[in-house]
């Protein structure tokens, strides 16, 4: 019998969690399961809890990470699961790759807190960073899946308010279209082992609530005016049903004059970067995030290390 490929091994682990969930499964159990799947603590990483108003947050620092710039990170999970814990390894890996600390935020989740609560929390976290003495040019945003969409919506909200924008942003398997109308929902339907259109639409409905508009650019940034956004890195797996969310957004951003780098990874699944111990492609993608973000930061005049 041939040995399983690493991508098949990690896919089976994710599917094993999903397969335990039923309509009757409490949301608290789903969140605990998701944290347990990904909650690995890398050696030597510092985790410094902080409070941003009522929000839990934490500075994640790989060994040698500098304090003169920061990455503000919003985790994925369909706006319903996910946390600092579930994304600790990914944030630590990005910290190492970019050479700076990452600020992870436990923004409010649905169904208890629907749109626009996460967007308000994201803006509050950005404001908190600036209040700590960082300039916008010393800050980048990053996120995956729903958190990647939150990154892009936050950029639109800041721009529309006339606020200075961060230096750059990097998103992974980004969810930009809550209508789930992209071509890849059909073209990748057989290839994607995890996420299908009915699941995506159900998560969108749970996030937006009754009467919510899935074409609101602050929920679905694909439908926004994208002019004036900072340089963007977009990574996505070629097997993903949300592939079009990345490809279509990148095309619209380029048309709007935004500097965009789109990286499509063959045979990869949704947020494959969460498996750096298992997948060489995850390690390569995280290194690319560091290579993209690191040269775009301004530096403080006095390093705080």
Measured between alpha carbons, how far is 282 from 304 in angstroms, rounded to an integer? 30
Q: Which of 40, 157, 29, 163 has its CA nearest to residue 91?
A: 40
Confirm if 39 and 167 have CB atoms less than 8 A apart: no
Q: What is the pLDDT of residue 122?
A: 98
Does domain 6-296 fall under CATH 3.40.50.1820? My reply is yes
pLDDT band at 23 (very low <50, low <70, confident <90, very high): confident
Q: Residue 123 has what pLDDT? A: 98
pLDDT confidence of residue 1: 53
Q: Write out the two tokens for 271.
A: 């947020």
Strands 100-106 and 260-265: unpaired
Residues in the chain: 305
Q: What is the C-alpha radius of gyration for the chain, rounded to an integer number of angstroms?
A: 18
Active site residues: 145
Helix orientation angle between 27-38 and 6-20, rounded to the nearest 10 degrees: 160
Question: pLDDT by residue (tens digit) across 98-118?
Answer: 999 999 999 999 999 999 999
Look at the pTM and tell me if it is higher than 0.75.
Answer: yes
CB neighbour class for 168 (10 Å; exposed up to 12, middle 13-18, buried from 19): buried
The residue among 204 and 304 whose pLDDT is bigger is 204
Longest CA pairwise span in the chain (Å)? 60
Q: Please give the Cα distance from 117 to 113 (Å, whole number).
A: 6
In angstroms, what CA-CA distances link 119 with 87, 127, 239? 19, 12, 28
> What's the confidence (pLDDT) of residue 305?
38
Residue 301 clears pLDDT 60, i.e. is over it: no
Alpha helices in the chain (DSSP H): 6-20, 27-38, 88-98, 117-131, 146-160, 184-187, 197-208, 243-255, 280-293
Tokens representing 178 are 């809550």
Structural domain boundaries in the chain: 6-296
pLDDT in tens, 214-248: 999 999 999 999 999 999 999 999 999 999 999 99
Task: Report in angstroms the alpha-carbon separations of 212 from 4, 90, 235, 270.
Answer: 43, 31, 28, 26
Concatenate the DSSP letters of all residues of 130-174 into one string: HHTT--GGGEEEEEETHHHHHHHHHHHHHHHTTPPPPSEEEEES-
* Arithmetic mean of pLDDT over the chain: 95
Q: In which order are the strands placed within the sheet that holds 55-61?
A: 46-52, 55-61, 100-106, 66-74, 139-144, 168-172, 232-237, 260-265
């Amino acid at each position: 019998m041939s040995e399983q490929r690493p991508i098949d091994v990690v896919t089976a682990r994710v599917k094993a969690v999903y397969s335990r969930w039923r309509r009757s499964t409490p949301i608290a159990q789903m969140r605990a399961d998701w944290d347990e799947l990904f909650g690995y603590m890398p050696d030597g990483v510092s985790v410094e809890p902080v409070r941003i108003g009522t929000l839990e947050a934490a500075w994640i620092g790989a060994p040698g990470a500098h304090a003169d710039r920061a990455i503000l990170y919003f985790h994925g999970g369909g706006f319903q699961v996910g946390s600092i814990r579930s994304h600790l390894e990914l944030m630590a890996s990005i910290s190492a790759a970019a050479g700076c600390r990452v600020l992870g935020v436990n923004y409010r989740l649905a169904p208890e807190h629907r749109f626009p609560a996460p967007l308000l929390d994201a803006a509050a976290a950005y404001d908190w960073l600036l209040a700590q003495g960082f300039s916008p040019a010393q800050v980048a945003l990053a996120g995956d899946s729903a958190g990647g969409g939150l990154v892009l919506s936050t950029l639109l909200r800041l721009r529309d308010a006339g606020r200075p924008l961060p230096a750059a942003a990097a998103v992974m398997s980004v969810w930009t279209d809550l209508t789930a109308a992209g071509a890849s929902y059909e073209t990748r339907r057989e290839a994607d082992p995890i996420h299908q259109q009915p699941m995506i639409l159900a998560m969108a409905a749970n996030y937006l609530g009754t009467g919510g508009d899935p074409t609101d650019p602050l929920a679905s940034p694909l439908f926004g005016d994208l002019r004036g956004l900072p340089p963007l890195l977009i990574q996505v797996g070629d097997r993903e049903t949300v592939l079009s969310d990345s490809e279509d957004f990148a095309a619209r951003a380029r048309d709007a004059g935004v500097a965009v780098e789109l990286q499509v990874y063959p045979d990869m699944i949704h947020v494959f970067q969460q498996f750096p111990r298992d997948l060489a492609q995850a390690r390569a993608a995280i290194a690319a995030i560091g290579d993209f973000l690191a040269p775009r930061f301004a530096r403080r005049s006095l390093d705080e290390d």
